[in-house]
Amino acid sequence: MTTPHDTTPQYPFTAVVGMDDLRLALLLNAVSPAVGGVLVRGEKGTAKSTAVRALSALMPAVDVVAGCRFACAPAAPDPGCPDGPHGTGGAEERPTRMVELPVGASEDRLVGALDIERALSEGVKAFEPGLLADAHRGILYVDEVNLLHDHLVDLLLDAAAMGASYVEREGVSVRHAARFLLVGTMNPEEGELRPQLLDRFGLTVEVAASREPGLRVEVVRRRLAYDADPAGFAARWADEEDALRRRIAAARALLPDVALGDAALRQIAATCAAFEVDGMRADIVMARTATALAAWAGRTEVAEEDVRQAALLALPHRRRRNPFDAPGLDEDKLDRTLEEFGADQDPGGDDDPDPEPEGPEDGPGGGGPDGGGCPPQDGGPDGSAAAPELPHQQEREAPKEEPAAPGQDGEAGQPQEPAGQDAPGAGGEAAAVGATEPFRTRRLDVPGLGEGADGRRSRARTAHGRTTGARRPHGALGKLHLAATVQAAAPHQRVRGRSGPGLVVRRDDLREAVREGREGNLVLFVVDASGSMAARKRMSAVKGAVLSLLLDAYQRRDKIGMITFRGTGAELALPPTSSVEAGAARLEQLPTGGRTPLSEGLLRAHEVLRVERMRDASRRPLVVVVTDGRATGGPEPVVRAARAARLLAGAGTASVVVDCEAGPVRLGLAGELARELQGTAITLDELRADSVSALVRTVQGNRKAA
């Protein structure tokens, strides 16, 4: 939303301490909006929002047609503007707007709303502009973009890519221009964006709070000074702000004259190919970014240093094909690629090869001590360089086969311990093992019809999906059901004085469509990490299966949680979250060994779900128990486990038991557990979607059979 009546001065952009990559990415988009926006990833409390809001004060004012709600430029008004056609009316100048999109915004608030009642009864297009219209020729800022509903993100990024917004409802169509600088911020701990959506942001930067005490002191000092006297603080930085504003204007004017030579284009193409990014958008964004970098540095030719910096800003997020891929770039590999395909390696040869390009002393990110410039990133102490790879994000390799350790279960062909006992010596803890490669799993559904957040798992009443009926609107009209509306209005036409063609429609006649789609669920993993599961090859396969289910949960927009049980109790390894990356990290480090307190794991799951229902009542849970079914921990372990399972079943919790039992002689304990849970038991083989011998079993089918 816009805040035109707020007279408090914004925190100055040049007063932001550190975060050079973030400031540079924002400034490059200010110089060349065609770069495609910025996605800012980082931990909370790192001034992401402060920097974005401060940018709007640096943007040049825009001329608009007087009275136009869609900010048409007087020199070239949009011929399809809903407020047009524009004649020779007056023009007015206004500051560049920064429009904020709230996380809870509706589709109508984003794209605008049509008055369907007037459209049907009067035949007029009564259109109320949305936030996309407000942001035209300005900045659209989306805080916590990863928490937006997927369909809103799709609409947002489509408009950013096409430069226009379309509203289509029941044959009534409105189109208006929507060109804006898109800036999104997110905390990766709260969940990732889909790779397809990551690709639609031009640049990405990782931000983190500085670990250097001196910089942290300066951040606090400046913030306290601003809070005490915003106007006075802004006045002290006015000269630096004016200088940076003039530099942006100069770079914009220089941009059309910047030459992108064949050597630079070859380096861009080679870099994108070397890092195996999908599609051609990365090449185009890199070319635009490198050109903007040259203009920002005051040069008329793109240099190798521009290509390198463009790669660091435009490629890291495009290399993530799934949530477990490591972010960032290998800078050594980048340098080798640039050197190999540099100007001196041009097979066609250059008649006049250029020496190292010269530019302003402050380089592409200069600006002097006032902090207005943004020097290239090399990993300074303020933590603004690309985040390093985390151990759980590194590429996984299938572990080599090793014989089972003494006291652990054997593999196929080896005898197993009798039910109710763990292997001798299993009281110790075995080292964590890696997971096998993830695979595509069968979809596991929660039975019934829910009303949770949009997703891709279980059936639900949603705002998007196939139409299954009609109803009177509750509050604002949603998606109009035209046939039902006409049916409701038709019997009253004579009373309303209509005797000829046409239809008189009143608000009481309106019917909205009831739609059925898919919802995201809370998938709670209850993982057996006891000694009976600890054979190295077997635990690796189990972790691979859980990793596959985590990936499936990510693709289906689920929240996830993880409980592990071993020894004498159960631990909530991961509270319910949208970050499957965090789940993968916990899984990677999962130790094994000890007895099997199955009942403790199930009771902990019951308690977690009880608390989660109070927080998010509409999100239905699916419990996935990964175990061989043995229960050996505590007094009467088998009886206690059965009682805990019946407690979950009594609460109506949908459950799936992934049977991890191995060997030629199987006891079927996981199947018995599934019956107590009133759920489904599937083996690791049956979990695979592409398994020829897999049985087509779902939770819903099992419930019907019961």
Return the active site residues. 281
Contact between residue 584 and residue 625 where contact means Cβ atoms under 8 Å apart:
no
Contact between residue 323 and residue 438 where contact means Cβ atoms under 8 Å apart:
no
| Cα dihedral: 234, 239, 242, 243 (round 10) | -140
Tokens of 404: 């089972």
For residues 345 and 491, give the distance between their C-alpha atoms in angstroms, rounded to a whole number.
Answer: 80
Angle, helix 598-615 to helix 637-650, in steps of 10 degrees: 20
Contact between residue 535 and residue 549 where contact means Cβ atoms under 8 Å apart:
no
* Selection from 95, 93, 61, 97 nearest residue 74 by Cα: 93
For residues 547 and 527, give the distance between their C-alpha atoms in angstroms, rounded to a whole number.
Answer: 12
Cβ neighbours of 494 (radius 10 Å): 8
Angle, helix 304-314 to helix 20-31, in steps of 10 degrees: 110
Q: Which residues contact 620 (CB under 8 A, 6 or more apart)?
A: 446, 448, 450, 452, 458, 519, 521, 522, 654
The SS3 assignment for 666 reads: coil
- Residue at token pair 């402060």: 50
Contact between residue 243 and residue 234 where contact means Cβ atoms under 8 Å apart:
no
* 3-state per-residue secondary structure call for 470-539: EECCCCCCCCECHHHHHHHHHHHCCCCCCCCCCCCCCHHHCCEEEEEEEECCEEEEEEECCHHHCCHHHH
Q: Which residues contact 574 (CB under 8 A, 6 or more apart)?
A: 560, 561, 562, 582, 583, 586
For residues 306 and 339, give the distance between their C-alpha atoms in angstroms, rounded to a whole number.
Answer: 14
Q: Which residues contact 382 (CB under 8 A, 6 or more apart)?
A: 17, 18, 19, 20, 210, 212, 215
Report in angstroms the alpha-carbon separations of 287 from 180, 259, 338, 366, 574.
20, 11, 14, 21, 42
For residues 281 and 555, give the distance between their C-alpha atoms in angstroms, rounded to a whole number.
Answer: 23
Report in angstroms the alpha-carbon separations of 669 from 128, 527, 569, 662, 674.
61, 15, 20, 12, 9
* Selection from 551, 558, 640, 638 nearest residue 604 by Cα: 640
